[in-house]
Amino acid sequence: MMELAIDMPAGPSEVLVIADNGANPAFTASDLLSQAEHGPDSQVILLTDDENFAQRVIEETEKQLAQLSRAEIARKALSASRVVIADSIEQCVEISNRYGPEHLILQTRNADDLVDSITSAGSVFVGDWSPESAGDYASGTNHVLPTYGYTATYSSLGLADFMKRMTVQKLSQQGLLGLANTIETLAQAEQLTAHKNAVTLRVNELKKQNQE
């Protein structure tokens, strides 16, 4: 019998890079390819507000691709990948939050400032010197991450996933009296009479004791 769940919704690997024209196209291309070489179904997306920069990344990607040991696999992944030219970096962030990538790389001049705007991502890599492969192998963050947009509701694997928790509560007499009206009102609204009675009986008993 399973006593503890340790899995999560995880599918083909994903990377989304948000970059402006201050980024290094070679770095950006290498990060896109790092994900593409995982498998032909890997999802690779570049969001930028600069069309010229996007073209430079595409050219650099082709250049680096020729040198890869898994070039054919990466090429298949890239065939279904996307480069999106947005109106602004803020729009790039909005698109990314809706997509919710497994790996999100921020390569912009204000990369640190963007972190607080990110609401859905499995793991975020900030700045030019934070390649996604560092997270895979050595930087210390967990490599087991949600995909398929599940970053909106799931987090990366952590210590809490290997623990089973329970809650314990003990109400004092005054504590119950303070909550009684709320409990009775909600129970009555749900037509759960026994729930209401469990409180009402105790309240009446306390009133009786106070009168004696």
Select which of 14, 37, 60, 102 is catalytic. 102
Catalytic annotation present for 60:
no
Catalytic, 103? Answer: yes
What domains does the chain contain, in order, with CATH numbers? 14-161 (3.40.50.1980), 173-211 (1.20.5.1300)
Q: Quick: pLDDT tens for 34-61.
A: 999 999 999 999 999 999 999 999 999 9
Entry pTM: 0.80
CA pseudo-torsion sign 3, 8, 9, 11: negative
C-alpha dist (Å) from residue 41 to 8, 35, 46, 104? 19, 10, 16, 18
* Cβ atoms 16, 106 nearer than 8 A: no
Indicate the residue type of 174: Q
- Write the pLDDT tens digit of every residue in 134-172: 998 999 888 788 887 878 777 887 777 778 888 899 999
Other beta carbons within 10 angstroms of residue 163's beta carbon come to 8
Catalytic member of 38, 103, 205, 212: 103
- What CA–CA distance (Å, rounded) separates 82 from 95? 13
